Structures are given as C-alpha cells and as structure tokens.
C-alpha cells in the first residue's frame, strides 16, 4: 500500500478468476488500505467480448502480440517452465508450448 497516496482510488483489471476463488483477496493489506482511505474498484476484463475483434486484427496483421513471448518449449516442459514463470526467473513473461517440439528455445 505504500505505492498509493492516501485517499486515492486504485483500479485493476484482471484476466483471472474471481479474487475470492483464488485466495488472492487475503493478500491485500486491508488495514493499511482502510487507514489510508483508499477506494478499490476491481473488475474482470470482458475477454469473450473483445476476443473475436482482437483475433481478427491479429490475423490481419494489425496487431503483433509476439513481443510478450519470451519462451517457446515442448509441452513436456510445462511443469518446469510454470515454475520459471511463477518465480519470475529468466525474464519469463509468456511461454508458448508446442506439442512435438524437440528442444526448447527462447523467442
């Protein structure tokens, strides 16, 4: 909470399940937020609404999302690279798994 000024509104958009179902809600220092008079506004991104339009623009070449891909690997390396992503190691942002791929490569 030290990164938010007192009496400020903090907003977040999420591409994840609800905060309650993931147990993440208990990671917010609510006491500090209350003492600072913060307002939280949270919502999930309406992915299903935007997905068809985004895919169309990607297919046309208007958008190139490949800049977020940092690792490419065979599907068998999923457990290992999940840990790499989770632990924020090796600059891992997004992994693309390719079934049948012979060896891993960085994008």
Question: pLDDT by residue (tens digit) across 2-58?
Answer: 566 766 665 554 444 444 455 455 677 778 878 888 887 777 888 899 999 999 999
pTM to 2 decimals?
Answer: 0.49
What's the average model confidence in pLDDT over 71-90?
A: 92
- Using the 3D structure, point to which of 47, 63, 79 is the last residue of a domain: 63
For residue 35, how far is the Cα from the chain centroid?
29
State the total domains in the chain.
2
Supply the pLDDT for residue 55: 94
Q: Is residue 23 part of a domain?
A: yes
Supply the pLDDT for residue 15: 46
**Dist. CA 107–CA 94, nearest whole Å:** 10
Cα–Cα distances (Å) from 84 to 3, 4, 56, 65, 96, in that order, read: 27, 29, 31, 21, 13
Q: Are residues 71 and 81 in the same domain?
A: yes
Range of the domain at 57: 7-63
Supply the pLDDT for residue 9: 62
Q: Are residues 11 and 57 in the same domain?
A: yes
Q: Are residues 54 and 77 in the same domain?
A: no
Q: Is residue 2 part of a domain?
A: no
Is 50:85 a contact under the CB 8 Å cutoff?
no
Q: Are residues 53 and 71 in the same domain?
A: no
């Amino acid at each position: 909470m030290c990164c938010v000024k007192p009496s400020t509104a903090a907003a977040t958009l999420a591409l994840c399940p609800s905060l309650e179902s993931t147990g993440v809600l208990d990671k917010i220092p609510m006491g500090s937020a209350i003492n600072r008079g913060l307002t939280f506004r949270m919502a999930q991104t309406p992915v299903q609404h935007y997905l068809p339009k985004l895919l169309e623009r990607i297919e046309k070449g208007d958008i190139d999302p490949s800049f977020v891909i940092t690792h490419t690997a065979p599907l068998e390396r999923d457990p290992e690279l999940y840990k790499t992503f989770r632990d924020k190691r090796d600059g891992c942002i997004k992994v693309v798994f390719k079934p049948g791929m012979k060896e891993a490569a960085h994008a």
